[in-house]
């Protein structure tokens, strides 16, 4: 998350699965292809990952500020309605590890 700037993501090669959590914790997702552009709104938790293990992806990010900042937001990520499979792919792990992380944050 970038508290001081929106992020523009441009896919140069391949495809990316992207998403962000809206202000009501609703998950918005989309698959971007080469040439696609997406703006992640300022201050919202977001992700991007390449779900195609056989083809590389390349993207360029730009910010609306020279100092966009970043915030570590484990509770926003792991205590949301995001599907455990999406989290597992995003963090390059398995669902069992995602569930361990979630249980560690709840106690």
User: With bands split at pLDDT 50, 70 and 90, how would you rate the model's confidence at 11?
Assistant: very high
Residue 25: the pLDDT is 86
13 is in an annotated binding site: no
7 is in an annotated binding site: yes
Domains and CATH numbers, the chain: 7-106 (2.60.120.10)
Quick one: pLDDT at residue 27?
94
pTM: 0.68
Q: Please give the Cα distance from 89 to 71 (Å, whole number).
A: 21
62 or 105, which is more confident: 62
Residues 6+ apart with CB under 8 A from 21: 27, 28, 44, 45, 46, 76, 80, 82
At 14-59, the pLDDT tens digits run: 999 999 999 998 999 999 999 999 999 999 989 999 999 999 999 9
Give the model confidence (pLDDT) of 86-99 as tens digits: 999 999 999 999 99
SS3 state at 98: helix
Q: Is 18 annotated as a binding residue?
A: no
Q: Which residues pair with 11 in a beta bridge?
A: 59
- Residue 97, classified by CB atoms within 10 Å of its CB into exposed (0-12), middle (13-18) or buried (19+), is middle
When pLDDT is averaged across residues 59-84 and rounded to a whole number, the result is 87
């Amino acid at each position: 998350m970038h508290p001081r700037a929106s992020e523009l993501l441009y896919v140069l090669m391949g495809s990316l699965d992207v998403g962000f959590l809206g202000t009501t914790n609703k998950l918005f997702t989309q698959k971007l292809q080469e040439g696609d552009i997406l703006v992640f709104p300022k201050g919202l938790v977001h992700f991007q990952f390449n779900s195609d293990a056989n083809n590389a992806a390349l993207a360029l990010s730009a910010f609306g500020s020279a100092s966009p900042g970043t915030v570590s937001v484990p509770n926003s990520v792991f205590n949301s309605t995001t599907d455990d499979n999406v989290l597992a792919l995003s963090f390059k792990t398995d669902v069992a590890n995602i569930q361990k992380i979630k249980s560690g944050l709840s106690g």
